[in-house]
């Protein structure tokens, strides 16, 4: 593993946002949802998330998640993803979302 500096870490915009909407993404190669997330002053953004094993669309709405908001947009099938949804792989390789323990303002940066 490569060591990074504090300055390197500060460059990554890990921000919290609230899921406003989650819809099916049948065009994706692997099962995924499209999620629309409110990052407060950083805007409302869309992303693709391969989180269908542990979450339903309905339970995602209103949940706060952590995303990387300063990557360039990425095309996934016919869709432009505007941030990276973060999570950890479980023992089967399925994604468990990174989340906050208590509500914080949308757009807050991980420090």
Domain ranges (residues) in the chain = 12-97
Q: Which CATH number fits domain 12-97: 3.40.1550.10, 2.40.30.10, 2.40.50.140, 1.10.10.10?
A: 2.40.50.140
Residues 15, 99 contacting (CB under 8 angstroms): no
Question: Tell me, what's the pLDDT at 10?
Answer: 93
Q: Residue 106: which residues within 8 A CB-CB, separation 6 or more?
A: 16, 17, 18, 38, 39, 40, 64
CA 7, 9, 10, 11 torsion-angle sign:
positive
- Residue spans of the chain under pLDDT 50: none
Question: Tell me, what's the pLDDT at 48?
Answer: 97
Question: Tell me, what's the pLDDT at 14?
Answer: 98
Query: What residues does 24 pair with on adjacent strands?
Result: 33
pTM of the entire predicted model: 0.94
Question: Tell me, what's the pLDDT at 46?
Answer: 98
Question: Tell me, what's the pLDDT at 108?
Answer: 98
């Amino acid at each position: 593993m490569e060591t990074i500096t504090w300055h390197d870490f500060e460059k990554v915009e890990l921000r919290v946002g609230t899921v406003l909407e989650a819809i099916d993404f049948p065009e994706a190669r692997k099962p995924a949802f499209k999620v629309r997330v409110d990052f407060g002053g950083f805007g409302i953004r869309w992303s693709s998330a391969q989180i269908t094993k542990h979450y339903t669309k309905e339970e995602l709405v209103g949940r706060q998640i952590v995303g990387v908001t300063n990557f360039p947009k990425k095309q996934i099938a016919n869709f432009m993803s505007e941030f990276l949804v973060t999570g950890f792989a479980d023992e089967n390789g399925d994604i468990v979302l990174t989340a906050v323990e208590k509500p914080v303002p949308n757009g807050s940066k991980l420090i």
